[in-house]
Amino acid sequence: MINALSATWRRGRLAGLLTATLLSLLATATYAALPTPGAPDLSARSYVLLDYATEQVIVERDADRPVPPASITKLMTAYLAFEALKNGDISLDDQVTVSEKAWRMGGSRMFIEVGKQVSIKELLQGMIVQSGNDAATALAEHIGGNEASFVAQMNSTAERLGMAETHFENPTGWPAEGHMMSARDIATLLSRLIHQYPDLYQYFRQKSFTFNGIKQYNREKLLFRNEWVDGGKTGHTEAAGYCLATSGARDGMRLIAVVLGTDSDQARNNQAEALLNYGFRHFETVDVRSGGETLASPRVYKGETDETPVGLRQDLSVLVPKNQRDELAISLKLDGELVAPLREGDAVGSLVVRLGEQSIVERPVVALADNPEGGIVKRATDSFWLWWDD
């Protein structure tokens, strides 16, 4: 198991360590690259394999290269629809009147009819399962008021999520100059969608949908190959090639694979599947410590109390090659002597995780409780001890 927590601080003491819980998405950790012996070498224009729990990249090629994403664009349209549902701005039963523009959309369609009313739920299924450009346009017009306003929301959301190599011109992925995404941005978006809207993510698992008497099957063929694959989004245009963003969960671990610019439907499926199989076969996610868990209670000078519990804001997990979890070592480093006042959330040091000799992640450690200044006698006494120690 993971080596014992080691820490260095003055007049401090270790607090007991608890079993870590499953990681929520990380916001403050930066991970070092891991060795990837025998990683697949794919023909796709760009690709990335991401561990969902840690957001560590396992394998990548040109992952930050902006390219046309085709219908993978609809991941963002779905994300904004899910956000509107969660905020109560729309409901699944709301009826949307189909515009002529939505009805006239070419490419893949769910075959909605101009002037007819279709529910949000049906439009979501038509967009996600059938990849309907008509459905995506109808959703965009309804949520945004008009398509241009919705596209502005798409771009502002991409910026908020840190998708630096993304720019949208429409909600469908229809070819347009400047409409670009990178493999890393797509993986980030799919990860956020799964994390923030797990109940609505079920639509991506749906294998078929019948509307207006027409039954169509999900274009994500890995859903039919592997029971552990639970959804994603395909895309294809002449400029984009064949693209796929997909996710699967196995043995308590979730991975996200994105392949862009392959030369056939079969190639995108095979290459995404190869990435997922490689990740599951050679790596595992290890829970390290829980957010809010007391890692230590170091000495605090001039405070109301002599000690303050410290720990992580969020749960911390790491990705390691299989059979190497015993090589993990964890150390706590405090930023010198702690002096009140301390507020809950103040940074006081860092937790460092090493795999052998390699530091693979460093995460800020914060105060878990307030410790205001003590009385005048306490402050004077501790000032003397600080002087004496120096």
Catalytic residues: 71, 74, 131
Print burial letters for 252-267: b (CB count within 10 Å at least 16), e (below 16): ebbbbbbbbbbeeeeb
Spell out the SS3 assignment of the chain. Answer: CCCCCEEECCCCCECCCCCCCCCCCCCCCEECCCCCCCCCCCCCCEEEEEECCCCCEEEEECCCCCECCHHHHHHHHHHHHHHHHHHCCCCCCCEEECCHHHHHCCCCCCCCCCCCEEEHHHHHHHHHCCCCHHHHHHHHHHHHCCHHHHHHHHHHHHHHCCCCCCECCCCCCCCCCCCEECHHHHHHHHHHHHHHCCCHHHHHHCCEEEECCEEEECCCCHHHHCCCEEEEEEEEECCCEEEEEEEEEECCEEEEEEEEEECCHHHHHHHHHHHHHHHHHHEEEEEEECECCCCECCEEECECCCECCEEECCCEEEEEECCCHHHEEEEEEECCCEECCECCCCEEEEEEEEECCEEEEEEEEEECCCECECCHHHHHHHHHHHHHHC
- Encode 280-319: b = buried (16+ Cβ within 10 Å), e = exposed: bebbbbbbbbbbebbbbbbbbbbbeeebbbbbbbbbbbbb
How far is residue 154's CA from residue 181's CA, in Å, rounded to a whole number? 12
Six-digit token string for 175: 């070819």
